[in-house]
Amino acid sequence: MMAMAIRRPATAFSITKPTVAKKPRQKIMAHLAFIRTLPCLVTGARDVEAAHIRYGNMRWGKRSTGMAEKPDDQWVVPLSTRMHREQHDFGDEELWWREKGIDPVLVAMALWRATGDEQAAESIIREARRT
């Protein structure tokens, strides 16, 4: 009986740096400030924080981010402090949003396009909360 040898290419299990560098996070302070003026997407309360959406949704072009990584500031929605903590503490962020009946990625995209227009942004939030 003859033993089989498995050969691996020299590139297998490589520990070299990736050739494609990750794009630096986009920080847009004006958009974050605008989001903080809006009502909470879940409760309608007015004292809100800009909550980043971490899970990915390739349907809308949103990639997932790691635990120590924040997404670009365009991927934020207004959440009350209580809802923001619940969003992070729940464990499965995508499931948390599904239970709320809200697609936060779609809302974040709409708010990004409406940044600076409070009337349009409040309409987007009202519509998202209605569903």
β strands within 6-115, DSSP E: 48-52, 76-80
What would you report as the CA-atom Rg of the chain, rounded to the nearest whole angstrom? 20
For residue 106, with 0-12 CB atoms within 10 Å meaning exposed, 13-18 middle and 19 or more buried, which class applies?
middle
User: DSSP letter at 38?
Assistant: S
- For residue 127, the model assigns a pLDDT of 97
User: 66 or 70: whose pLDDT is higher?
Assistant: 70
Q: Could you tell me the pLDDT band of residue 23, with boundaries at 50, 70 and 90?
A: low
User: 79 or 17: whose pLDDT is higher?
Assistant: 79
3: Cβ contacts below 8 Å, ≥ 6 apart: none
**Ramachandran class of 44: left when φ > 0, alpha when ψ lies in -120 to 50, beta otherwise:** left
8 Å CB contact between 48 and 17: no
Confidence check: pLDDT of 66 > 80: no
Query: What mean pLDDT is predicted for residues 103-129?
Result: 96
Instruction: Give the rounded percent of residues in the chain with a pLDDT score beyond 90.
Output: 60
Sketch the domain layout of the chain as residue ranges. Answer: 30-130
Is residue 76 classed as helix, strand or coil in its secondary structure?
strand
Confidence check: pLDDT of 8 > 70: no
User: 11 or 99: whose pLDDT is higher?
Assistant: 99
Query: What mean pLDDT is predicted for residues 92-105?
Result: 94
